[in-house]
Structure 1
Amino acid sequence: METEPNKKCFGGCNVFIGLVAGLAFIGAALNAEHGISKYFAAILHREESTIVVTDNYIFLFAGIFMISTGILGFYGAHMGNRYLLSLYAFVMVLTLIVQLAAVIVFTKYDYRDIVRQATNRSLNNYYDLDSASYNESHQFWDYLQPNLECCGIDNYTDWMNASQAPAISFIPESCCKPSLDHDDDVTNCTRFITNGNVEDAALVEKFIYVNGCIDEYFGYYAVDLLGFYAIFLLFFQIFAIGYACVLIIGTRAGYRRLDPQIYQGSQPQWEF
């Protein structure tokens, strides 16, 4: 049977699952969408962009569903209304389906691999004067690398293998650190790095950023965590659905009929 402690416990669960988790989901999805729009929108093909954007919006809708169900569940428990609690359980199931869809899309199409393919294409067009994407690639890398303080896809050595990369100054100047570790102008720092010393990380790190842009981007925008976060929350949501069902059963059991008491002029008694 429904009790006040049950209401408070259920309400607390919904505050955590619905409001806190929902807001976190919305924030993470918007943050990931902002990162894609800011850095990769220009180099992603239409199909790739559609997959990435769709996945972000599925997570966004899942967050909105979480907040809605949290409010609904808290109000239903507070009022002791089994119809609202039933609606809560139904909407929570829909939320689970939306989350699972987002995880499937995230896993099937490999968000990270899509971004990697796009950056690899752009890297190989950076020195290709005949490429239609030459200017686009320059703009992309010269904006991405100084802003994320990174160089290359996985690390700075990727530029050695870029298509038509020059033998000298094969690393773009946008990888240069704006520091005073060397006397030369920052824009000329890459001339110190040659095929002979490119593997000398201690020397190279004085002049340029050495971490790859893929790891820096995914680490900063926490995109990889979206899928794990969704799976982690599934356990709490399943628990909340089960708890809602217990409250629904308890609420229905509270409406029981007592045996009629026969008194003069009395009517059958009902207890609520």
Structure 2
Amino acid sequence: MVTESEKKTFIGCNTLFGLVAGLVFIGGALNGLHGISKYFATILNGEESTMVMVRMSLFFFTGIFMISTAILGCYGAHTGNRYLLSLYAFVMGLTLILQLAAVTLLVNYDEWDIARNAMNRSLNNYYNLDSTSYNESVQFWDYLQPNMECCGIDNYTDWRNASQAPAVSFIPESCCKPSLDHDDDVTNCTRFITNGNLEDAALVEKFIYVDGCIGEYFHDYAIDLVALYAIFMAFFQVFGIVHACCLVIGLRADYRRLESQIN
């Protein structure tokens, strides 16, 4: 016999792990999409853009499915409707497949590698006036670096190895700190940094940002934690499916018992 306590336990667990997890997936996907559209949209190639969008969309729709399924399961348990609970178990299984597919894509198409490759291409096109991506590269770095308060991919020294970088002022002015720590014009701060003093972090830090942009970006927009959360949630989803099946079996037994008493 299915007791009210069992129903309330199912509803509570479903609310905690279903609704909350759904909101995490949706929030993570929207945050990731915001970061991509704000910074990387112009420098990703077709395949990279597709992989990123597919993965983000999978997490987004997984969140939608989880919230919808959680509501369905809670209503089914509250009303004692075994058909709704059966549907809940089925849809939860589909949701589990969706999020595992998203995690698989994340493993096969690592977000860091995609971003690093795109940034490396763009960095090497920054000084290449003949490149068809020159304008996009300049716009990307000159927008990313001051907004994220960073310089280069891993750090500011990356600009020394940029293709066709000038011997003097090879670090873009968009790396300059908008401060009054020095008496010189902020827009000309990079002329003080040469190959001779490039490794002098104390000196360089007075004029420009020194942290790499890839680390700063993923600090704000990484979806890796959402993927780890998806793996963690998979165990609870399996438990939810099993729990729903147990409730269905119990409700079916209760129905048959009641039917036999009536007859």
TM-score by length of structure 1 reads 0.93
Q: 2:76 touches 2:82 (CA, 8 Å); kept in 1?
A: yes
Query: Paired residue for 2:14?
Result: 14
Give structure 2 stretches of 5+ with no counterpart. Answer: none
The answer to whether structure 1 residue 160 and structure 2 residue 169 are counterparts is no
Counterparts of residues 165-180 of structure 1 (less than 5 Å): 165-180=165-180
Counterparts of residues 13-162 of structure 1 (less than 5 Å): 13-162=13-162
Query: Paired residue for 1:247?
Result: 247
**CA–CA distance in structure 1, aligned partners of residues 237 and 230 of structure 2:** 10
Judging by fraction of residues, say which structure has more helix.
Answer: 2
Following TM superposition, where does structure 1 have runs of at least 4 consecutive aligned residues deviating by more than 4 angstroms?
none
Q: 1:2 touches 1:247 (CA, 8 Å); kept in 2?
A: yes
Deviation, structure 1 residue 100 = 0.8
Deviation, structure 1 residue 243 = 1.2
Q: 1:17 touches 1:66 (CA, 8 Å); kept in 2?
A: no
Count of aligned residue pairs for this structure pair: 263
Q: 1:150 touches 1:175 (CA, 8 Å); kept in 2?
A: yes
Residue deviations 1:7-45, cap 9 Å, x none? Answer: 111111111222111011111101101110111111111
Moved more, 29-38 or 10-19: 10-19
**CA–CA distance in structure 2, aligned partners of residues 151 and 192 of structure 1:** 16
**CA–CA distance in structure 2, aligned partners of residues 219 and 72 of structure 1:** 35
- SS of the counterpart of 1:205? helix
Deviation, structure 1 residue 258 = 8.0
Identity %: 74
**CA–CA distance in structure 1, aligned partners of residues 253 and 67 of structure 2:** 29
Distance change (3 Å), C-alpha of 1:41 and 1:258: closer
Query: Paired residue for 1:237?
Result: 237
CA-atom RMSD in angstroms: 1.6
Give structure 1 stretches of 5+ with no counterpart. Answer: 260-267
Moved more, 15-24 or 79-88: 15-24
Q: Considering only CA atoms, is the larger Rg found in Structure 1 or Structure 2?
A: 1
Q: 2:24 touches 2:226 (CA, 8 Å); kept in 1?
A: no
TM-score by length of structure 2 reads 0.96
Query: Paired residue for 1:215?
Result: 215
Query: Paired residue for 1:187?
Result: 187
Query: Paired residue for 1:270?
Result: 262
Deviation, structure 1 residue 224 = 2.2
User: What amino acid does structure 2 have at the position aligned with 1:7?
Assistant: K
**CA–CA distance in structure 2, aligned partners of residues 197 and 113 of structure 1:** 30
**CA–CA distance in structure 2, aligned partners of residues 257 and 101 of structure 1:** 42
Q: 1:156 touches 1:171 (CA, 8 Å); kept in 2?
A: yes
